[in-house]
A and B are shown apart, each in its own frame.
Chain A
Amino acid sequence: MALLTRTRVHPPELLGLWLLLAAVPVAALPHAWEQPPWVFAVLMAAWLWRVIIHATNARLPARWVMVLLVLAGGTLTFAEFGTVFGQQAGTALLLVMVALKLLEIRSQRDIVVSLFLSYFVVVTTYFFNQSILIAAYSLLSAWLITAALIQVHGGRVLPLGRLARSSGLMMVHALPIMLILFLVFPRIPGPIWGSPHEDPIGQTGLSDRLEFGDIAQLLENEATALRVRFEGPAPPSSQQYWRALVMTDFDGRGWRVDRSRPEIPADGDGPGDVAYTATLEPTRAHYLPVLDFPVGIPDQARLLDNLQVLASRRVDSRLQYAGHARLDAPPAWPLSADERTRALALPATAAPRARVQAGLWRAAHGDDDTAIVQEALQLFAGEPFRYTLRPPLLGGDRTDAFLFETRAGYCEHYASTLAVLMRAAGIPARVITGYQGGQWMDAGNYLRLRQADAHAWTEVWMEDQGWVRVDPTAAIAPERIETGLSGWFGEDIDAPAFLRRSGLPWTVQWRLRISDWHDVATFRWESLVLAFDPERQRELFARFGLDATDWRGVLIALAVSLGGLGLLAGLIALLRRPRDRRDPAQRALDRLSRRLRRNGLAREPHETATAYATRVRAARPELADPLADFAQAYTHLRYADLDAQEREQFQQQLWRALGAAKG
């Protein structure tokens, strides 16, 4: 232990130091994916340096070296982020400082400071990732850090098993307090300072613009987009259209969202409506997918007159919201002149052949818009149109090329082309994107919609019915709508593995199964933990008749819950108290001695019961009889060979005598 001459660290603390050296990389590991590579490199370099110091019995770096390193670390962080505050830069700085602290641990106190900072490192992990896997992982980190803390204060090299057990037990015992504080500690909505998310990360999933191929591209993306739990039975798949974006403006190539629509009041839910709770993965956009047709919307969202729902804040973290839907009838809302114009607009040069076709239908059916819609759907179903994963590339005017040449496309090809045909025939039409189908997760009792379940369909304006949903995909590939993507692509060897129903190697099957379990766990975690917000807290308090926004309500809740916990802990401690293992006769003798102590007549440890009784009798002659009885009973109970009946007799005599020998 020559290295101890260099630092004031004794063997028990040395083991604590090694545990710290194990805990720091474990606690910092999740940051490796979030921080610039140099941050983690600095951490590992400092760590390695410290290990080498121990292996070679080298000196710790001099103080001026440390000063330079700390300055360099701060400068580097500032150069990278332009600040040292905020989530990203602050965490980077913390990691660098934890790394450098490793190089100047000289005493027990330094180890303890490093361990406290390691707890902090674990907390900062959650600024970037709140998944259940990270939760489980950070429990491991916290367990290691706590074990190191115990060892540092253990006074000796503790057995590893006891160390592991103690650390684990401490965490388990802390759970009730954690739970109570989590539920009761007052929650304030919104950030106190700064913006919670500074880093722009590319948007995935649906976008504001739709062109041919955009949704087909999402087919490979098996990430979950939306999880939904229904309050009653889930409606049939063919009626579940999750409406996200409504696109009215067509420029000949693609569609664009119209966001400037006026806001309308929601109808409010009525009987027969479907109530659901959806959990949306971060989209970094404002849209909220809602079940068609929305009649009840979440509190912090707006309903536009094209029935698109927008959140008041960009969805940068997982968001849970509740909604109500009326499956059959859209709310009746008149079509404004302005909207009618926009829903009929076609660029002058767009789709000349389609316009001719639409003109023919109009000529044939006169005013019958319904018949024209039927003609278009007949065209898709009757002619050799294909619904395919890999639509061919299109040249020239895309609508015409698809409609008259390739005739192979994905849902956005059909939805867009139908809308163009309708507009050409003078029927207002628009394209909706959202999600359709999905996978029912029995284990979690919820519907899982992946990015791959993205879908596009059409709405047309019928003078007598208002906007009516027309899904051309239902005409060409009804299985896609009725049983989801795998209903159509389940046997297609080109389809992504998660859609296929057969012919998969067992490794892939297991990967998919694990992915399903993970999704269920994530959903549970989300609804149990992450969704708890000021609003949930208010509901919870209200259930007990308390007001969460009033400090008195919070105080009452804290006092009652923590007090109750304390009482419970006290009760458990009382029940688990070591039982009095003394013999009943011995207990009576001790009690007698305690009683007479006040008179200075406590029994000396060496005195037998008889000797004691004799001595007391000398001082208190009035107790002579009970004392004699007591001594006799005691001696018999302790030393004589008694049968059950005699034992009972002497017991009674003993307690009677004890009662009579009142000081």
Chain B
Amino acid sequence: MRSGKLNPARDPGLRTRWGRLREDFVRWVTRRHQADGRRARVTRDRVYILPTRQGYMLLLILLVMLLGSINYSNNMAFLLTFLIVGIGHNAMWYTHRNLLGLKVTVLPVKPAFAGAPPVLALRLEETDGRPREALRLAAGEQESPPAFLEPGASVDVAIALKPRPRGIYHLPRQRLSTRYPLGLLEAWTWLTLDTEVVVYPVPFPVASVLPAAADGDGEAAAVPNARDALPDEIRDYRPGDSPNRIAWKTVARTGRLFVRDSAGGDAAPTWLDWDTVQDPDPEYRLSVLCHLVLEANAAGQPFGLRLPGQRVGPDAGPEHLGRCLRALALFGLPGRSPA
């Protein structure tokens, strides 16, 4: 992950000529689809269906059966052969209907750290009142285990993607497919859901760095841990205050919204600075900062993150943590990767 190859747009499937051709074709087919956003519905005009290898195999066997029926002028053999032809033909319709009308929603992606597989979670919803079986959802080269849905139900499908270097990835396309019931045909649809997968740098534990950096930097303070000792100051809630800081006991007593204001004198925010870590490898610096950010967040302290040309915070809370980690993930990368 610390190799220099950092271009997230490069998909291993595109390396071969066939892979590129295929990609061009798919792009050509799907160019008429509008981007799906966070939700998509599998409509008739975007379901494709083709026979599988098993389908062609049955076709061959049916041909032999038909020859036998003709040769021996056997009406019952004709009947059974044509019955299976009918079943095979109708499989087209069953397979198509198994996919049609499903709703797919992107669920918030759990952040992942480089090296661990990011998990893409999508929700499948059934609203047409028929059970669905053996649905497979694929993103990139990864495919989910088969999912099924009872009428009116919904199910969350997770696709564990390949571990990737830090960055923000947009999986250009997802493929929802099924071969149910007979495996003779595969129906599929391409979704262009807005799936943003953020991969953070790997946290690199270096406990000793933090105090030293705090000493060296005038603005930064050592991690103070005396906050709990001081009585919290209670003040009126102002829009924008974190819900974590609402003083629920006081609210219950008075019926008004109060927040605990802990911006006391010695609760000055800690600054985690790019320059705190001295190393020629920027990835290493980011990893260390990632660890520090997680540590500071765990301490429940307000803290800020300073990167070259960028400053986050100071603040506290999960959203702030998200912003910091995102800044680390994106640092030095050319904007958003092409979709």
Q: Does B18 sit within 8 A of A, measured CB to CB?
A: no
The residue that B79 contacts in the complex, of A109, A119, A152, A529, with Cβ under 8 A, is A529
Q: A126-B77, A162-B131, A532-B75 are in contact. Are A155 and B146 (CB under 8 A)?
A: yes
Give 1 or 0 for each of A186-199: 1 = CB within 8 Å of chain B CB: 01111111101000
Name the distance in Å between A295's Cβ and chain B's nearest Cβ. 30
Contact B128 A156 (CB under 8 A): no
A162 to B131, CA, bound (A): 10
Contact B131 A127 (CB under 8 A): no
Contact A170 B183 (CB under 8 A): no
Contact A109 B54 (CB under 8 A): yes
Contact B82 A578 (CB under 8 A): no
A123 to B74, CA, bound (A): 10
Q: Hey, which chain B residues are within 8 Å of A171, CB to CB? A: 83, 87
A12 to B146, CA, bound (A): 11
Q: Does B195 sit within 8 A of A, measured CB to CB?
A: no
Q: A112-B54, A116-B57 are in contact. Are A175 and B86 (CB under 8 A)?
A: yes
Q: Does B148 sit within 8 A of A, measured CB to CB?
A: yes
Contact B73 A153 (CB under 8 A): no
Which B residues from 94 to 137 make CB contacts under 8 A with A?
A: 94, 128-129, 131, 133-136
Q: Does B251 sit within 8 A of A, measured CB to CB?
A: no
Q: Hey, which chain B residues are within 8 Å of A156, CB to CB? A: 133-134, 146, 148
The residue that A154 contacts in the complex, of B71, B87, B90, B133, with Cβ under 8 A, is B133
Q: Hey, which chain A residues are within 8 Å of B71, CB to CB? A: 191-194, 196
Contact B61 A170 (CB under 8 A): no
Q: Does A150 sit within 8 A of B, measured CB to CB?
A: yes
Number of interface residues of B (CB under 8 A): 48
Contact A166 B61 (CB under 8 A): no
Contact A123 B80 (CB under 8 A): yes
Name the distance in Å between B119's Cβ and chain A's nearest Cβ. 20
A501 to B169, CA, bound (A): 90
Q: Does A182 sit within 8 A of B, measured CB to CB?
A: yes
Contact A182 B78 (CB under 8 A): yes
Contact B76 A130 (CB under 8 A): yes
Q: Does B70 sit within 8 A of A, measured CB to CB?
A: yes
* Residue in chain A with minimal CB distance to B182: A149
Q: Chain B CB within 10 Å — which of A12, A170, A196, A529 has the most?
A: A170
A174 to B75, CA, bound (A): 17
A113 to B182, CA, bound (A): 12
* Residue in chain A with minimal CB distance to B134: A155
Q: Hey, which chain B residues are within 8 Å of A116, CB to CB? A: 57-58, 61
Q: Hey, which chain B residues are within 8 Å of A191, CB to CB? A: 71-73
* Residue in chain B with minimal CB distance to A109: B54
Name the distance in Å between A201's Cβ and chain B's nearest Cβ. 16
* Residue in chain B with minimal CB distance to A87: B72
Name the distance in Å between A519's Cβ and chain B's nearest Cβ. 19
Contact B64 A529 (CB under 8 A): no
Which B residues from 18 to 73 make CB contacts under 8 A with A?
A: 54, 57-58, 61, 64-65, 67-73
Number of interface residues of A (CB under 8 A): 57
Q: Hey, which chain A residues are within 8 Å of B82, CB to CB? A: 177-179, 181-182, 185
Q: Does B207 sit within 8 A of A, measured CB to CB?
A: no
A612 to B79, CA, bound (A): 61
Q: Does A564 sit within 8 A of B, measured CB to CB?
A: no
The residue that B80 contacts in the complex, of A109, A122, A150, with Cβ under 8 A, is A122
Q: Hey, which chain A residues are within 8 Å of B81, CB to CB? A: 123
Contact B65 A123 (CB under 8 A): yes
Contact B181 A170 (CB under 8 A): yes
Q: Hey, which chain A residues are within 8 Å of B180, CB to CB? A: 150, 153-155
Q: Does A268 sit within 8 A of B, measured CB to CB?
A: no
Contact A126 B76 (CB under 8 A): yes
Q: Does B179 sit within 8 A of A, measured CB to CB?
A: yes
Q: Does A662 sit within 8 A of B, measured CB to CB?
A: no
Q: Hey, which chain A residues are within 8 Å of B87, CB to CB? A: 146, 170-171, 173-174
Which A residues from 143 to 177 make CB contacts under 8 A with B?
A: 146, 149-150, 152-156, 158, 162, 166, 170-171, 173-177
Contact A149 B146 (CB under 8 A): no
Q: Does A267 sit within 8 A of B, measured CB to CB?
A: no
Name the distance in Å between B185's Cβ and chain A's nearest Cβ. 11
Which A residues from 414 to 449 make CB contacts under 8 A with B?
A: none
Q: Hey, which chain A residues are within 8 Å of B70, CB to CB? A: 187-188, 192
Q: Hey, which chain B residues are within 8 Å of A87, CB to CB? A: 72
Give 1 or 0 for each of A327-352: 1 = CB within 8 Å of chain B CB: 00000000000000000000000000
Q: Does B85 sit within 8 A of A, measured CB to CB?
A: yes
Contact B79 A150 (CB under 8 A): no
Q: Does B257 sit within 8 A of A, measured CB to CB?
A: no
Contact A112 B183 (CB under 8 A): yes
Q: Hey, which chain A residues are within 8 Å of B77, CB to CB? A: 123, 126-127
Q: Does B10 sit within 8 A of A, measured CB to CB?
A: no
Q: Hey, which chain A residues are within 8 Å of B146, CB to CB? A: 12, 155-156
* Residue in chain A with minimal CB distance to B39: A605
Which A residues from 39 to 76 make CB contacts under 8 A with B?
A: none
A182 to B83, CA, bound (A): 9
Q: Hey, which chain A residues are within 8 Å of B90, CB to CB? A: 170, 173-174, 177
Which A residues from 477 to 524 make CB contacts under 8 A with B?
A: none
Contact B80 A142 (CB under 8 A): yes
Q: Does B84 sit within 8 A of A, measured CB to CB?
A: yes
Q: Does A120 sit within 8 A of B, measured CB to CB?
A: yes
Q: Chain A CB within 10 Å — which of B75, B134, B136 has the most?
A: B75
Name the distance in Å between B270's Cβ and chain A's nearest Cβ. 37
Give 1 or 0 for each of B167-211: 1 = CB within 8 Å of chain A CB: 000000000000111110000000000000000000000000000
A123 to B72, CA, bound (A): 12
Q: Does A279 sit within 8 A of B, measured CB to CB?
A: no
Give 1 or 0 for each of A86-119: 1 = CB within 8 Å of chain B CB: 0100000000000000000000010011001101
Contact A178 B79 (CB under 8 A): yes
Q: Does B245 sit within 8 A of A, measured CB to CB?
A: no
Q: Does B89 sit within 8 A of A, measured CB to CB?
A: yes
Q: Does A311 sit within 8 A of B, measured CB to CB?
A: no
A190 to B74, CA, bound (A): 10
A194 to B84, CA, bound (A): 26
Q: Chain A CB within 10 Å — which of B77, B94, B129, B181 has the most?
A: B181
- Counting from the closest, the 3 A-B pairs by CB-CB distance are A174-B86, A155-B146, A155-B134
CB pairs A–B below 8 angstroms (19 shown): A87-B72, A119-B80, A120-B64, A126-B74, A126-B77, A126-B80, A135-B79, A142-B83, A150-B181, A154-B134, A155-B133, A156-B148, A170-B181, A175-B83, A177-B89, A178-B85, A179-B82, A182-B78, A182-B82
User: Which residues of A are at the interface with B, using a C-beta cutoff of 8 A?
Assistant: 12, 87, 109, 112-113, 116-117, 119-120, 122-124, 126-127, 130, 134-135, 138, 142, 146, 149-150, 152-156, 158, 162, 166, 170-171, 173-179, 181-182, 185, 187-194, 196, 529-530, 532-533, 569, 578
